[in-house]
Chain A
């Protein structure tokens, strides 16, 4: 009897006790579904937790600040900086040549005035509120300028809307700080999308006389983000920040009136190491160059250890559930062997080998385990999808990024289906061997 004949016979055989078959399949489906759901949730959790540590950018990203590194720098994830140490183009080139560095993103930060709608006000309106009309008050802030073509390598998480187009000088995104300034509710980020604001870069003409000129730009808010590239509630293309910076540098230092000239060409650098394993080495190089820096290397390492333990525990719970379920297959097959003693004898009497009987019962386990595994996997993935949607809505409500299930289903589907099949065959081995070893004289009945 070939495997094909064995499976054909098995498919028919499982229909003789439909209730038992359905219950066994359901048990396997529940077991494999639980395994798939737990593994998928563990994987999503791993990705999300580690992703959160990267704050939207790669976890191998290192932030370099324009401050001198202290001796304690390498022992901690956070920046341990002292006096100002400007980041220049030479700094960028030196870091770029260090071993283990994949790429560098430069970040600008420019002091600006922000005028929310209604537009058309004048500078004096900045200094005073308009409580009678309850209009939003203009405020001073920083515009962070980044290379938006490489936004995936920056610690930026889009909470709503989208990032500005690369190179655009008429689009910006805002952070939760913008909502705080305007006393808006961050739970409704869509309320600011499309709103046009005015951004004014200062140029101190006469510090003693307090004469300041502005370079005014109107920009539409295209999105809401959480960003950790540099301090500032506005984020836009580097071209916009660079133009504003050039405008301010055209004036004089206004430190006495609170508008000092920038001390460093770059507000920070985001250095991407080749891998997590290279982060420490790259940080050491940066520290040697004399710059304070931060990266969640210790936090990522310890978090990964904890997550691995969680993965093992969740996987073990799912596997135990599946093992219990497939023991149902063993039980059902043992019952089938008891019921079919004479039939097994008959098959042997008409020429079946022990191997044919073994194949018949293993094929039954294969059919039941396969159907249960497929149903369970679908059930598990559906459960994960529903769970993710519930979690998503909660995270968005909390102003956090949503979870992504991309890339998980194929792996978990394989785990669910293949795991169910293998465990089913394993569980069926003993009943199948018992059946195969029954004597052929069972065909003739009790003697």
Chain B
């Protein structure tokens, strides 16, 4: 069942997430490793959830499934109106373009492109007309406070600035679900706080659902809910 968004101040554009008996494994047969062993999960639309747990608990794998990077092996997983079980290839790529914005620990910027071009790249994949790309990229960079660094390549930006470019790229297509994998993992404390503030502001402005995978108590403390994964299941 899909629930209505709850954040009262948000424009309610986020999506709810529901998982039931969700499993996933890597490899098959005797060499297969079950990573998720039956996850039950409900995330309200527009909420901010932190996924925590020890290494190997399945946090990143759950993020991969939520982000449509792979289809789950069994169980049920719905994100908004999208049922992701059995979805592959082009359909999964279309889901990623329409629903998901990713923020990675290592930023994931293309080094040979400028900040603006990195943001425009996400739009070129979504088929946004060339004429609109630059304007929307500049707006996204402005919203993360990096208008003055639009022409700089990632190698000329600080870690915090790179992560802000990555956030601009993640939000430029206005996805209803924002997924962040250790977004402050490569930043110092001061830069980390700025990034967390920025994510909070963007979520409130845009009303998107934010799921953050983190080991950091500081990051987790910002979330509305904190979910613990242990041995492939959500701990009660």
Contacts and interface: CB of A to CB of B under 8 A. Distances in A.
Interface of A: 1-2, 5, 9, 12-13, 15-16, 342-343, 345-354, 356, 439-441, 443-445, 447
B164 interface: no
B69 A351 contact: no
Given A441-B64, A444-B60, 13 more contacts: A2-B124, A345-B69, A350-B97, A350-B121, A351-B96, A351-B125, A353-B90, A353-B93, A354-B93, A440-B96, A441-B69, A444-B64, A445-B106
7 contacts: A5-B124, A9-B113, A16-B112, A347-B121, A351-B96, A354-B93, A447-B60
Contacts of B35: 447
Contacts of A447: 26, 35, 60-61, 64
Contacts of B63: 444
B103 to A, nearest CB: 10
B150 to A, nearest CB: 16
Nearest to A447: B60
Contacts, number: 89
Contact of A351 (B26, B112, B126): B126
B181 interface: yes
B61 to A, nearest CB: 6
Contact of B108 (A5, A343, A353, A439): A343
Contacts of A356: 125
B235 interface: no
Contacts of A439: 69-70
Given A443-B104, A444-B63, A352 B69 contact: no
Contacts of A343: 108, 110
Contacts of A350: 96-97, 101-102, 121-122, 125, 169-170
A385 to B, nearest CB: 38
Contacts of A2: 124
Nearest to B109: A346
Contacts of A351: 93-94, 96-97, 122, 125-126, 173
B156 to A, nearest CB: 15
A348 B89 CA distance: 11
A356 to B, nearest CB: 6
Contacts of A443: 69, 102, 104, 108
